[in-house]
Amino acid sequence: MSRSRTAILAALALVAGASGTALAVVPGDAGIAAVPCTVDYKVQNDWGTGFTASVTVTNNSAAKSSWAVKWSYAGNQKVTNGWNAKVTQSGTAVTAANESYNGTLATGGSASFGFQGTYSGSNALPATFTLDGVTCNVDGGPTGPGPTDPGPTGPGTKVDNPYAGAKVYVNPEWSAKAAAEPGGSRISNQPTGVWLDRTAAINGVNGGMGLRDHLDAALTQKGSGELVVQLVIYNLPGRDCAALASNGELGPTEIDKYKTQYIDPIAAILADSKYAGLRIVNTIEIDSLPNLVTNTGSRPTATPQCDVMKANGNYQKGVGYALNKLGDAPNVYNYIDAGHHGWIGWDDNFAASAAIMKEAATTEGATVNDVHGFITNTANYSALKENNFTINDSVAGKSVRESKWVDWNRYVDELSFAQGFRNQLVTTGFNSGIGMLIDTSRNGWGGTARPAGPGATTSVDTYIDGGRYDRRIHIGNWCNQAGAGLGERPQAAPAAGIDAYVWIKPPGESDGSSSAIPNDEGKGFDRMCDPTYTGNPRNGNNLSGALPNAPVSGHWFSAQFQQLMQNAYPPLP
């Protein structure tokens, strides 16, 4: 059975016609522009370690005398030979250029070619194709939409990537705080996550907007187009067993309260037909499941609280219940939080974390079909892409994995980790069409401290420390980090296997208080938020690197907001 892939238009918005054919709309245009090109990519045969594929490209723009189709793989696929095109590969990037006999491509004309390849693990289909540098969409072809294709869109039909061709909801409450800051109007129109971090948040806290208020506002912002609303589902029993600053209101055994007083009311609101036209993206329970792998048992990072949660299984039960109940609505897309590379990128943590996520996704009535994807780096600071070194580099006879910073991790940045972990998740049993989100709200690391090139090659440590963008004292530091900056602006389909870069953590909201502050939100004081703290095994017994004078987690932190703008990368205008 062949499989075909509908590529996501990164620069063009997709709208569905009555027949389900994807058309491209140039942002800002009043009318519909012609689709510049279509690419139909089909896996014809797949025998587990290799495959053959056929590709047809159709040119809808000016006639061409030569052409080149390009795409990238999210996995380790390698092209071994091709026919009817010169097919070459560099890393994950593949280029198919015309042969001398088929270079002419008239307006409306098509050319077909094929190739054979090898792989291990997952043979995920490419997400995006270009023809001579122009992004194409993909014709489903005569076989009809494949298992990862969106097909006809509209209420009741999930699309492959909810961010493709859609605006994303701007939270009015966060936007007002950002705009009130000097210079904040430069980013106050950016979309951020709406955090439902306690039961009271469903109806609104202290006169603030509740879930229905946000969804009603989203309908207004939506207009006649598509719009994504980003929600954070974050209230597990015994929440954040390794981080006191973000402890929650429910005790370790209060799973029934989580189900009936928190998840069920949210599910009822999301199922309201009034909101059927919204694309609702749920980030499911940040920093929960990986804790059961890394902070339990005999590990030096273990905590008694995490041991309790591993023993009672309420993290898995809560996540499974949320996936099952929230996933019932056809316009809802669940993305499970998957930590970050500086947490589960090590061999001992990598496959084990994927396995426990599979366990959670197949309990309490949930199935892998309730999981649309995963999100990494939520509310964290890991650099998106370290350009000054790779995991394969060696200096003075030592691999970069031996440096104090990398410390035997398999990954050096979030993009490579998200793509690699996606393959592991598919291998573990999740659907091959899952997409990844990366939170880039605070991982830009710009400003004057951003290195312009690699460090000195006198030792592997000088090489890494001199070249790394991530300027934290230790990769385990997570609270209100000094020197951090805004990262890539939210955007759809920025890389192979990545559904979007998002700002789930609203910039300017504190990770935790620098000293103990009494509150009625169930949030404790974590020494990792104290700039004088000298650390613990989870951060290599280093200073915390936290900013001083921070408020309770989730509260507005003006000094941090100003720092994030100052150190933004790409820089703000």
Please give the C-alpha separations between residue 328 and each of 136, 270, 272, 322, in angstroms, as whole numbers: 32, 9, 12, 10
d(CA 297, CA 313): 14
Kindly report the backbone phi and psi dihedral angles of residue 49, in degrees, each rounded to the nearest multiple of 5, phi listed first: -120, -5
Q: What angle do CA 216, 220, 225 make, to 5 degrees?
A: 120
> Annotation-wise, does 509 bind a ligand?
yes
d(CA 261, CA 386): 43
Of the candidates 149, 287, 337, 439, the residue annotated as catalytic is: 287
Tokens coding 84: 């009817």
d(CA 211, CA 204): 7
**Chain position carrying tokens 């703000």:** 572
d(CA 478, CA 537): 14
> Annotation-wise, does 340 bind a ligand?
yes
**Chain position carrying tokens 């509260």:** 555
d(CA 211, CA 326): 14
Of the candidates 139, 370, 470, 511, the residue annotated as catalytic is: 511
Please give the C-alpha separations between residue 135 and each of 15, 74, 258, 492, in angstroms, as whole numbers: 15, 17, 44, 13
> Annotation-wise, does 380 bind a ligand?
yes
Which residue stretches of 183-246 are H helix? 211-222
Tokens coding 561: 């907001």
By C-alpha distance, which of 212, 211, 208 is closest to 194? 211
b or e along 136-166 (b: 16 or more beta carbons within 10 Å of the residue's beta carbon)?
A: bbbbbbeeebbebbbbebeeeebbbbbbbbb
d(CA 428, CA 481): 34
By C-alpha distance, which of 4, 90, 93 is closest to 44? 4
d(CA 379, CA 357): 19
Q: Which amino acid is at 377?
A: N
Provide the 3-class DSSP secondary structure of residue 219.
Answer: helix
Q: Please state whether 241 falls in left (phi above 0), alpha (psi between -120 and 50) or beta.
A: alpha
> Annotation-wise, does 505 bind a ligand?
yes
d(CA 521, CA 511): 14
Q: Is 526 exposed, middle or buried (0-12, 13-18, 19+ CB in 10 A)?
A: buried
CB 371 within 8 A of CB 323: yes
CA gyration radius, the chain: 24
52 alpha-carbon distance from chain centroid: 30
CB 326 within 8 A of CB 270: yes
Length of the chain, please?
Answer: 573
Catalytic, 240? Answer: yes
Catalytic, 287? Answer: yes
d(CA 422, CA 10): 20
Compute the half-sphere exposure of residue 203: CA atoms within 13 Å on the CB side of its CA: 6
> Annotation-wise, does 405 bind a ligand?
no
Tokens coding 297: 């048992």
Of the candidates 40, 149, 240, 470, the residue annotated as catalytic is: 240
d(CA 42, CA 204): 48
The binding site consists of: 195, 197, 340, 343, 380, 478, 505, 509
The residues assigned a catalytic role are 240, 287, 511
The binding site for substrate consists of: 195, 197, 340, 343, 380, 478, 505, 509
